[in-house]
Chains A and B, each alone.
Chain A
Amino acid sequence: MAKILEVTDLCKTYITNKRQNNVLRNVNFSVDEGDMVAVMGPSGSGKSTLLYTVSGMDSMTAGTVLFGGKDISALKPNELAALRLDEMGFIFQQMYMLKNLSVLDNIILPARQSKANTLSAKEKLERGKELMRSLGIIEIADNDINEVSGGQLQRACICRSMINAPKMIFADEPTGALNRQSSNEVMEELCKINADGTTIMLVTHDAKVAAKCSRVLYIVDGNIQGEYNLSGKDERTRERALNNWLMEQGW
């Protein structure tokens, strides 16, 4: 499998009140195309920072991140924005959408903004509807975002992240604000997307969510302490196996 993301000696340091805070320390890992990687770890260990840094949303202090072979540290802000728009998708814990747009308009917004997406306006609209249909939320297409439930909104965010057919989706605690049922539904959709060939990297606190992934990275104090491969493991036992491994890591 070709590698879509290669991270080498990644460091991220914040200076707060003249004190140096090393959030990421020489992180090394890679993600293969079609992989579904979960990042776990205690609060403040640097999970979200890792996600934002490797996706180009935050700058790095040292190291290299190659996305699809491109060194993102060498890209200018506008090139990074274009990369995020056309080749990456994002899902956040807070289901942020523009308040004055309908759910469908929010979903097709990145497609309309993208120059790389050569579909016509009509085709982009159809693709938005198709994604909503496939995630079972077509009935809320014309609703305002404050008229729908959290689970529906998060699925709408998944649709938005998929609209430009990205190579990879980054999700920061995508189920963190959802109830168990909505959480399961969202994870099912992400697994389907992954099965269709889209690489996914997600941050989670939930072992049940992480158990759906093919690989789990465990991060402590800015370092990847361990890695657990779940691929090929039985559906019914992988969650327990993951829990055991996590306990070994100090979870």
Chain B
Amino acid sequence: MFFDILKRDLKRKKTMNVIILLFVILSVMFISSSVMNLTAVTGSLDSFFVKAGVSDYTVFERCGGTVTVADAVKNAEGVTDFKQEECIFLSGHKFVGRAKEKDSQNANTSMVCCLSHQIQRYFDGSDNEITEVADGEVYVRQSLLDNSNAKVGDKVELTVADVTRTFTVRDTLKDAVLGSRMMGNARFLISENEYKAFEKAEPLEPYLFHISFIHTDDIPALEKVLTDCDMIIFSGDRSLLQLTYMMEMTIAGILLIVSIALILIAVVILRFTISFTLSEEFRQIGIMKAIGIPDGKIRSLYLVKYLAISVLGATIGLTLSFPFGSMLLKMVSQSIVMENGNSLLLGIICAAAVVCIIVLFCYLSTRKVKKFTPVDAVRSGTTGERYKKKGVFKLGKKPVRPVFFMAVNDILSSPKRFLIMLFTFFVGISMLMVGLNISSTMTSSKMLNWINMAQCDAALVESGSIEKYMVADGREKLNQKISEIESDLSEKGWEADCFVEVITTVIVTKGDTELKTNGVEGINMTPDEYMYLEGTAPQNKNEIAMSYIVADKLGAQIGDTVTVKTPHGETECMITAVYQTMMSVGNNIRLYPGQTYSFQNLAGINDFQIRFHDNPRAAEVERRIEIIKEMYPGGEVMNAGDYVDYCVGGVGGMMDGVTGLLLPVIILIDILVAVLMEKSFLTKERGEIAMLKAIGFKNRSIILWQTLRIAIVMIAAVLLSVALADPIGKLTTSGIFRMVGAKNIIFDMDILKTFVIYPAIVLATTVFSVFLTALSIRKVNSNEINSVE
């Protein structure tokens, strides 16, 4: 009898059981693939660094310093090994696509290297170590190809001063030190002969630099001696380099969040389904009790069913998680040599955990069986003592359509049931909105505040800028260029401010704590144009602002005095403000204009930002950008949003991909939940539907009643998600952004996309699926009224 009941149940509630099965499949697929990916990425990152031979400490240094890294490390305690690789900065690079020529990204952050100088090991797209590069060929990282819309096989022109050579992209390059999307500097790996050709460039010295690989037992001691080096443009230990792969791990992290949300939804749905099934089967349970079947046996009937569904779902989900995980891992594996760990075992553990959670939840949910008595079987599911007030509102003489009233009244009469639905819709839509908000913020001009840059309308990226201004009179030259740009724009009838961020390496000391960091100065821009978390902008050369990360490292607060050391002397400065920035993973301080004493020692220079005085609309900005492109054919001109995305390594585009993946998943989840709920209602309300038909309600009115209920809940979920989008976004993502230097997130929401288009798509597809499900009421005959339970 036991299995007969089970068989009958599986057959009768086919759709509901299939939907629960789908939920289990999705949950297991997502959780297994994301956990496997997350562990694969973190584990692989360590093994990749070991395989590549990345040292404990890495330093990028320009040539011509008064104290070089090679000299400094001689005095450092704990250094066990020191090696240097020579590279040459490019003054320009341009991809020439198969179909048409495409401009590359800013060239002054790219460099060429060759294998004969190599210290670390490089790998190609198939994870094979690169041991030889043919003349005329080049290896370059995938993200650079993506940013330039280029592919393997395309041609690229590389320029160093007066030497330009053309190469064919042989394959992608997996470069542990410079391979992440967040790393501004990209490496072109070429042959020794080609490298020698670039060494003949005139002038060469401004373009030459070294990457030092230092093995040490005492990093603080090493950092202390490196403070004397005046040409360091970047230095960091292994963990800092690993942090730059953070964005590569974002997808795996987001999928993990989605998986947890899915399990939550699956469990909630399961609880709903079980309690619904039990309340529907009061007669069967009552009769089983009446004939003496114990509670435990009755509960095991349901437990066996859900155990079977979860085991089947977990097996399918686990199987699917491998191709699904590989698909998601593809982007990450383009920059990291992946390690084949014991992912199957991990996947099995995840799948088993999901099964355990579901069965445990099922066990808890079936406690309701204890409450049923044989009396329920003969009293339509209620004993005399447990009548509950159902209706909340009275139709009376209210001027509403009865169908609408019935829908609203049903929701308010069974709030628990509809709250479950509201919760699941809300979780799904909120996840989507968080993704959309991150995506739109990452490509909006407001993001400039997150990277502590002044607001602008457009940016001009000019090839080889840094070399032009890394001279004694660099400040004058830069100011002259800025004046020229402003004048050129004025001639076109556009009054505008042009400004640039320059970066030098400084040492900040507070008490015994000494920290090497970047000093950022806005040329032709006052410090009060930047956003600060606390305090006021520096007002003179004895005042600075600093990122909260630097302040935390120094243990400094606003009002404290620190010593800012440059190759040209020391200045006592008071900290007047604290800000956030994602640039250099939050490691920099803001200097007052003129505080950058020597342009010869510049560590970096950003691009020419343009801010029009007349606050033009977006369309007008785009029009002007097209004209500016013609004015400066050698550079690249972009709007503020694209510039932000460019500065943070195309993360916005990556997030677009994630939200593109989330949308169908959320739609699928919402549809499954809605159809499951509607199917449950149709089963339970068959008698009421037959009665309504019998007394003359048309099919369309009944379908409308059924659809309206879920549509109302869905609309409420959308409104709730919209209202809470900002706090939920901050709650879920603040941890990630805090790690990379931004703790006060202000989302720039794309109102149309976030609050209208995407919710409308989810709403429309879900409601339509409910409508299609509700069409089955046409099969209910009014004469069934006496035959339904």
Contacts and interface: CB of A to CB of B under 8 A. Distances in A.
Interface string A70-101: 00000001100111111010101110111111
A52 interface: yes
A77 B788 CA distance: 22
Given A144-B391, A147-B387, A85 B696 contact: yes
A100 B785 contact: no
Contact of A101 (B391, B696, B781): B391
A113 interface: yes
A18 interface: no
Interface stretch (B158-166, B243-251, B398-406): B398-406
A147 B388 CA distance: 9
B668 to A, nearest CB: 31
Interface in A22-64: 48-49, 52, 57-58
Contact of B783 (A57, A83, A146): A57
Contacts of A109: 395, 402, 695
A222 interface: no
Contact of A112 (B387, B395, B699, B783): B395
A146 B391 contact: no
B396 A125 contact: yes
A82 B698 CA distance: 8
Interface of A is mostly: helix
B390 interface: yes
**What is the interface residue range for chain B against chain A?**
35 or more
B522 interface: no
A108 B396 CA distance: 8
Interface stretch (B173-181, B475-483, B579-587, B683-691): B683-691
B371 interface: no
B688 A99 contact: yes
A94 B398 CA distance: 29
Nearest to B381: A146
Contacts of B783: 48-49, 52, 57-58
B694 interface: yes
B414 interface: yes
Contacts of A105: 391, 394-396
B414 A86 contact: no
B697 A57 contact: no
Contacts of B699: 77-78, 81
Contact of B696 (A82, A97, A122, A124): A82
B413 A100 contact: yes
A202 to B, nearest CB: 14
A195 interface: no
A160 B695 contact: yes
A124 B397 CA distance: 8
Contacts of A85: 695-697
A99 B694 CA distance: 16
Contact of A97 (B394, B402, B691, B693): B691
A58 B781 contact: yes
A48 B394 contact: no
Interface in B691-749: 691-701
Interface string B391-428: 10011111100110010011001100000000000000
B789 to A, nearest CB: 9
Contact of A113 (B387, B413, B697): B697
Interface of B: 380, 382, 387-391, 394-399, 402-403, 406, 409-410, 413-414, 687-688, 690-701, 781-783, 785-786, 788
11 contacts: A48-B783, A52-B782, A58-B783, A81-B697, A94-B785, A98-B688, A99-B688, A100-B413, A101-B395, A105-B391, A172-B786
Given A78-B698, A142-B394, 4 more contacts: A84-B782, A85-B695, A100-B414, A112-B402
